[in-house]
Amino acid sequence: MGISITSFHEKSMGGYKSVLLAFTTGGFIAAYSLIDGLGAREAGTAVGY
């Protein structure tokens, strides 16, 4: 939260675009982690995964 607030400072070069890209990247990482966890649970064993 603090990083996103400081990016909106008037001297910042990136502004909204950098925050949007950061949150988009975080969203993709979270989605991958959830899907990967579901796949591991569905496999049942480490060898099956």
pLDDT of residue 14: 62
Measured CA to CA, the distance from residue 2 to residue 10 in angstroms comes to: 15
Measured CA to CA, the distance from residue 36 to residue 17 in angstroms comes to: 28
Model confidence over 5-47: pLDDT tens digits? 666 665 656 667 777 888 899 999 999 999 999 998 999 887 7
Of 49 and 45, the one with more pLDDT: 45
pLDDT of residue 7: 63
pLDDT of residue 3: 63
Q: Where are the domains of the chain?
A: 16-41
Q: Is the pTM of this model over 0.75?
A: no
pLDDT of residue 1: 65
